[in-house]
Amino acid sequence: MMLLWVILIPLLGGLLAGLAGRHARWVALAAMLLDGAVAIAAWMQASGEGRWVLSFEREWIPAAGVRLYLAVDGFSFPLVLLTVFLGILSVLVSWKGITERVAFFHFNLLWVLAGTLGVFLALDLLAFFFFWELMVIPMFLLIALWGHEHRSYAAIKFFLFTQASGLLMLVSIVGLYALNGHATGNYTFRYDDLLGNGIAGRAAFWLMLGLFVAFAVKLPAFPFHPWLADAHTEAPTAGSVILAGLLLKTGAYGLVRFVVPLFPQAAADFAPVAMTMGVAGVLYGAMLAFAQTDFKRLVAYTSVSHMGFVLLGVFAWNAQAVQGVLMQMICHGVSTGALFIIAGALQDRMHTRDLEKMGGLWSLTPRLAGFGLLFALASLGLPGLGNFIGEFLVLVGSFQVDRTLTILASLTLAASAVYSLRLVQRAFHGVPRERWQVADLGPREMAVMVVLAAAIVWLGLMPQPVFKMSEDAVERMLDTGRPVEGGGP
């Protein structure tokens, strides 16, 4: 029941915020704090044996065999926490930046978060799809209503990409349901019952591909990334934080949770292609990031690069790689979220995101610039900060599977240093190119930044708790996701 509340609180809080007028901010903040408390309390209480630490199951639409089946394990719980954490920060960073339709803004914000939480928790495939789609509309509205100059274009592009791929996923899910039901006589969408389905050969490949494409678009993997830069750039700050920090993670989560365990053999056969796509994304994203002059666009392309690692790690499918993927997801959420908040802070003050017009901000806004440097360093994978752990583990894991690709992927460590430092140098160093009169971070912004900085440092120095929490779950998923009898690459 607690798990249901984790999703219901933001949904109800969103409705309440939508009606609360100018108090919407406080309502949203309270809802997210409460949600975090409930999630943590639920986890503490749980003493579940077996696959799930905590689960909740009810009939939803008996006639169609759909159940409301929520469950959490050590792999999804950190992501739930990340969602709540970034959710709270998103409310805080919109405190001053959003002035129009405040109530409706927070309604959308909380509903995106609810959808995301649903994605991480739902384990009935159709319920999963329901939440997956639920994220899209409020996100679309966040971009379309509160975005920057080219918001309509970006919002439509975002919607078309995710929706078109989502429909393929729906066909795959229903196909899996029908084929599995036909073979076993048990027509169900339950994840646990669908694991170990006997579907093989071409059918498995096509079903796997349908799911893969949907997740790869969200991730986004090269060549499905074109929506990302526009959406991230045009979204309001909170929207960018949620897009980069959470929505991309749902794609990664889907790959780990569904694609490989449900179709082990097909995924193993497909692994070389997927890993190549991952490496292509890593390098291509870094290259594109280097060429950007728009602060947010640059950060957006670094996401393509970082998410390439995730794809590489998922299809390497061993303990180090998958642990690394989880770590990379969390740290990327924190560090990129922070960079988008900095970009938003600059935009609020200077009304531009153009790096060519910035420069010399260090002397004007030392605190802002200092945090900018910290998170740029995190993004380039400096040891001691969280991202390093994630990327390193992914590389270690995939090295055992494919050396050439891993070596190619590690080239990006140099490239990411170049684009990150270029970002810092252009924005903060040198002489101011224009006479800016900008204020440094205020107390509210400082608080947000300090929390984020503490998180990334803690994850970098003490990653063990995360590994410990997810160890069991990862081990189980690795087992189910291994193809039987010497197949695979």
Q: Candidates 38-46, 60-68, 274-282, 418-426 — which segment interacts with another protein by CB under 8 A?
A: 60-68
Rounded least distance, CB 63 to another protein, Å:
4
From candidates 60, 95, 399, 458, binder to another protein by CB under 8 A: 60
Rounded least distance, CB 22 to another protein, Å:
16
Rounded least distance, CB 190 to another protein, Å:
16
| E-only strand ranges, 66-166 | 66-72
- Does 145 participate in binding another protein (rule CB under 8 A)? yes
Rounded least distance, CB 168 to another protein, Å:
6
329 token code pair? 């997801």
274 token code pair? 């997927």
- Does 141 participate in binding another protein (rule CB under 8 A)? yes
Residue 333 contacts residue 244 (beta carbons within 8 Å)? yes
**Maximum CA extent, the chain:** 72
Pick the closest to residue 333 from 419, 414, 246 (CA basis). 246
- Does 144 participate in binding another protein (rule CB under 8 A)? yes
- Does 164 participate in binding another protein (rule CB under 8 A)? yes
Pick the closest to residue 375 from 244, 236, 229 (CA basis). 244
- Does 15 participate in binding another protein (rule CB under 8 A)? no
- Does 105 participate in binding another protein (rule CB under 8 A)? no
Q: Candidates 99-107, 274-282, 310-318, 468-476 — which segment interacts with another protein by CB under 8 A?
A: 99-107
Rounded least distance, CB 94 to another protein, Å:
18
AA identity, residue 256: V
- Cβ-count burial 235-257 (b if 16+ within 10 Å, e if not): bbbbbbbbbbbbbbbbbbbbbbb
- Does 274 participate in binding another protein (rule CB under 8 A)? no
CA distance 351 to 343: 10
Distances (CA, A) of 125 to 67, 72, 89, 373: 9, 14, 30, 42
Rounded least distance, CB 140 to another protein, Å:
8
Rounded least distance, CB 354 to another protein, Å:
24
- Does 178 participate in binding another protein (rule CB under 8 A)? yes
- The SS3 assignment for 124 reads strand
From candidates 19, 48, 58, 152, binder to another protein by CB under 8 A: 152
What are residue 464's phi and psi, to 5 degrees? -55, -45
Residue 199 contacts residue 180 (beta carbons within 8 Å)? yes
Exposed, middle or buried, 66 (CB in 10 Å: 0-12/13-18/19+)? Answer: buried
Q: Which is nearer to another protein, 102 or 345 (CB)?
A: 102
Total residues in contact with another protein, by rule CB under 8 A: 35
List interacting residues with another protein (CB under 8 A): 60-64, 100-101, 104, 126, 129-131, 133-134, 136-137, 140-141, 144-145, 152, 155-156, 159-160, 163-164, 167-168, 170-171, 174-175, 177-178
